[in-house]
């Protein structure tokens, strides 16, 4: 997963991150063509979030009245488009400029000679494509001209930045895994969550995210489906599928195919862990997948705020098209600043903490009973304030739980996870046969995602819209999405304390784990 850099420039926050799917070369010659992206500020900064709230709230007269491309473009009208384009035309006359983000004009992709871009942005050729910063010592980007800077919220694609070590689950060769819990397969999940064997009609689709070197084998999905008598689903692929890392991709594709039985599915891949550009890529898929499952992420502190905002901005636009985005809450408990050598503060997981994402935590199973997994990511965001739809649930949680020291977390932040599902000891097929188990919130996420796809399939078959951004309607339910998880604590070893699972909402399992009848009742609207 790729790190990126955010730095303040006056009142303007600029993100200088790796380009979508490909890194700049280590040496750039003056006549080489390079690409960078300008993300433009909007005339009405709050309009996007306001629109999502309107289409996601059951009490709103606009509930689930999703936007057309033209309506979305009007909502996202950028400020200063003419000024930015005039600046580019004057100072980079050979540049090829393309507007992106579905006609909204919010993003300008610029291709030009490296020497010209160097003059335009004040970046020396020697610095193109080099490792110019570290997480501890970010390099300040050169300022844009004042007349342009007020109209640009981010600049993407100039520097190639070092990725952190990704969290990649290791396939266990034994029939049991290293963590607590019974071995889980599609039959166990069907019994636990009460879904039927009915095949979807195929009127909606779903997708799993993939990054870096993730690869899955269609033959493994087919063997998995045959072994558990699941409907055959052939995954469509957008992006690379040849990196050789099979663990995460195998887990995601097999279990979203199990929980979303018969729903047409996508493997949505790019090399760079850049969620804003990944989201833009997925929004070009037709027909648009209406459930996205993201099993990748890292601590909020590893990613600049500007990058996190750019990604959530795109997730909000997806919500306005009727899309549900789910993300794994992480496998590091509370997370921490200071690692094994001390715990200065908790560090929740991005993108799970984004306010337009449904964050999925993990439980483990013992003889039919679920307990909050100690590694299940959860806590209070240091980036995002708490959304109004979460206020009552969090207040009730804090009133009944023993909370960690307040110095370790932002008590006014958005809390994760929102929901949970079984996350340990998932049996995975490799080489055409069951070959071991994998564990993590990256198992829980596609499992929950497929169940949302089943709801969408039923609703769309009945002439109703998809569920879209589901958090407001889930929290309106007031209790759980099925089974309330009341035991568990996600204390990280180096930290003084963690969050505890309690009756009702908590920062280990959220609103609990789903049962089919309860989830459908909540989401049908």
- pLDDT at position 140, please? 46
Residue 157: predicted pLDDT: 67
**Residues forming the annotated binding site for Ca(2+)?**
484-485, 504, 506
Annotated catalytic residue within 376, 442, 480, 509: 442
pLDDT at 304 over 70: yes
More confident residue, 105 or 38: 38
Three-state SS for 411?
A: coil
Alpha-carbon distances of 469 from 15, 301, 326, 489, 505, rounded to whole Å: 26, 25, 9, 28, 19
Element spanning 381, H or E: strand 379-385
Nearest C-alpha neighbor of 71 from the set 99, 46, 47, 41 = 47
Residues 6+ apart with CB under 8 A from 133: 5, 139, 159, 161
pLDDT at residue number 27: 56
**Among the ranges given (62-66, 103-107, 133-137, 308-312), the one the predictor scored with the smallest mean pLDDT:** 133-137
pLDDT value for 166: 43
Question: Confidence class of residue 55 from pLDDT cuts 50, 70 and 90?
Answer: very high
Q: pLDDT tens for residues 477-518?
A: 888 999 999 999 999 878 889 999 999 999 999 999 999 999
Candidate list 116, 252, 300, 370, residue with the active-site label: 252
Instruction: Give 168's pLDDT tier (boundaries 50, 70, 90).
Output: very low
Give the chain's mean pLDDT: 86
Residues in the annotated binding site: 484-485, 504, 506
Catalytic site residue 252?
yes
Mean pLDDT, range 389-404, rounded to an integer:
97
In three-state form (DSSP H/G/I as H, E/B as E, the rest C), the secondary structure along 197-249 is CCCCCCCCCEEEEECCCECCCHHHHHHHHHHCCCCCCCCEEECCCCCCECHHH
Q: What is the pLDDT of residue 101?
A: 63
Q: What percent of the chain has pLDDT over 90?
A: 63
Lowest mean pLDDT of 117-121, 173-177, 322-326, name the range: 173-177
Over range 250-257, report the average pLDDT: 97
- What is the value of pTM for the model shown? 0.87
Task: Give mean pLDDT, residues 237-242.
Answer: 96
The DSSP secondary-structure symbol of 134 reads -
Please give the pLDDT value at position 256: 98
Residue whose tokens read 């303007």: 12
What CA–CA distances, in Å, run from 1 to 295, 333, 382, 471?
A: 11, 19, 20, 26
């Amino acid at each position: 997963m790729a790190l990126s850099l955010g730095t303040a420039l006056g009142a303007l926050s600029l993100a200088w991150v790796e380009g979508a799917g490909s890194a700049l070369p280590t040496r750039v010659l003056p006549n080489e063509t390079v690409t960078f992206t300008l993300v433009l500020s909007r005339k009405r900064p709050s309009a996007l979030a306001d629109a999502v709230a309107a289409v996601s709230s059951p009490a709103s007269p606009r509930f689930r009245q999703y936007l057309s491309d033209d309506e979305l473009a009007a909502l996202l009208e950028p400020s200063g488009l003419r000024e930015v384009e005039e600046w580019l035309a004057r100072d980079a006359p050979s540049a090829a400029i393309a507007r992106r983000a579905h006609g909204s004009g919010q993003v300008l992709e610029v291709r030009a000679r490296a020497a010209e871009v160097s003059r335009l942005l004040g970046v020396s050729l020697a610095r193109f494509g080099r490792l110019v910063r570290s997480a501890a010592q970010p390099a300040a980007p050169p300022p844009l001209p004042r007349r342009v800077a007020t109209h640009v919220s981010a600049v993407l694609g100039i520097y190639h930045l070092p990725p952190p070590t990704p969290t990649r689950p290791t396939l266990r060769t034994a029939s049991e895994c290293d963590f607590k819990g019974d071995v889980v397969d599609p039959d166990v999940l069907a019994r636990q969550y009460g879904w039927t064997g009915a095949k979807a009609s195929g009127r909606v689709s779903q997708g799993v995210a993939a990054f870096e070197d993730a690869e899955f084998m269609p033959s493994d999905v087919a063997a998995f489906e045959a072994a558990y008598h699941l409907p055959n689903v052939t995954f469509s692929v957008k992006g690379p599928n040849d990196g050789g890392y099979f663990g995460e991709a195998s887990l995601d594709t097999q279990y979203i195919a199990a929980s979303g039985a018969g729903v047409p599915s996508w493997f949505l891949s790019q090399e760079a862990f850049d969620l804003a550009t990944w989201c833009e890529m997925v929004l070009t898929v037709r027909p648009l997948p209406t459930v996205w499952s993201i099993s990748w992420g890292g601590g909020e502190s590893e990613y600049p705020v500007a990058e996190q905002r750019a990604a959530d901005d795109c997730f909000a636009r997806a919500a306005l098209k009727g899309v549900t985005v789910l993300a794994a809450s992480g496998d590091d408990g509370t997370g921490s600043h200071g690692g094994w050598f001390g715990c200065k503060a908790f560090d929740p997981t991005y993108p799970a903490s984004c306010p337009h994402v449904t964050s999925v935590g993990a439980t483990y199973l013992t003889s039919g009973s679920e307990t909050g997994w100690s590694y299940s990511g959860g806590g209070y965001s240091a980036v995002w304030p708490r959304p109004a739809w979460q206020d009552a649930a969090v207040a009730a949680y804090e009133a009944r739980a023993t909370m960690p020291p307040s110095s370790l977390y932002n008590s006014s932040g958005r809390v994760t996870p929102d929901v949970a599902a079984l996350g340990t000891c998932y049996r995975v097929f490799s080489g055409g046969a069951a070959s071991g188990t994998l564990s993590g919130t990256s198992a829980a996420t596609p499992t929950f995602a497929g169940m949302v796809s089943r709801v969408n399939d039923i609703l769309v078959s009945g002439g109703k819209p998809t569920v879209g951004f589901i958090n407001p309607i889930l929290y309106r339910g007031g209790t759980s999405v099925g089974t309330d998880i009341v035991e568990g604590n996600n204390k990280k070893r180096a930290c003084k304390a963690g969050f505890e699972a309690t009756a009702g909402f908590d920062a280990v399992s959220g609103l609990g784990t789903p049962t089919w009848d309860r989830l459908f009742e909540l989401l049908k609207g």
